[in-house]
Structure 1
């Protein structure tokens, strides 16, 4: 995983976990990698992953079974979509629209490229 300087690392790791859940790689009530496992995989400090897991637990995305580990919560996808949708609409979309305007990109061109992207990358992913 490559980290961007724009967001805190623990939030970028949260996005990574969220993406795995949304794509069905980690299912509801399934155990997710331990703090140490994920820290080793991503080559970050375990304290950073622990901060991520605490954040996701407070957000209702994962839950902890003491002594066993962290698991995907029942309503994880709903919580993730709500949070990320708000963040996208408030932060990312205005910048995207600004760039469209400045570069003279039409909504039709965006729609065509979006459909091509979906066809290339998510043919097996059903929208829930």
Structure 2
């Protein structure tokens, strides 16, 4: 059984690849100066970069879980998300309200994708 771990630290790996599946660690962009739209876009940019590094792409996403600090930001986050997935196959998705590790983090994405 082959498991590839990319950009590992003592705590976690940013990317794990196993049997045609890519798992990304949670992606955040917590800067107190950024609103939910900016944080969402920065997270999605990071996700795209990591998927490419893993030999995948956003069109190969299988599942995305979105953790949002406050559901009042749901529509603004979805506006950015909808534009980002407009021309690709849509992954399965869940979105839940959650307490974040730091107060400036408004959104976090957890992604699973396929790779060739």
Q: Same fold (TM over 0.5)?
A: no
Structure with the bigger percentage of strand: 2
TM-score (norm 1): 0.34
Structure with the bigger percentage of helix: 1
- The higher relative CO (CA closer than 8 Å, separation ≥ 6) is in 2
Higher Rg of the two aligned structures: 1
TM-score (norm 2): 0.36
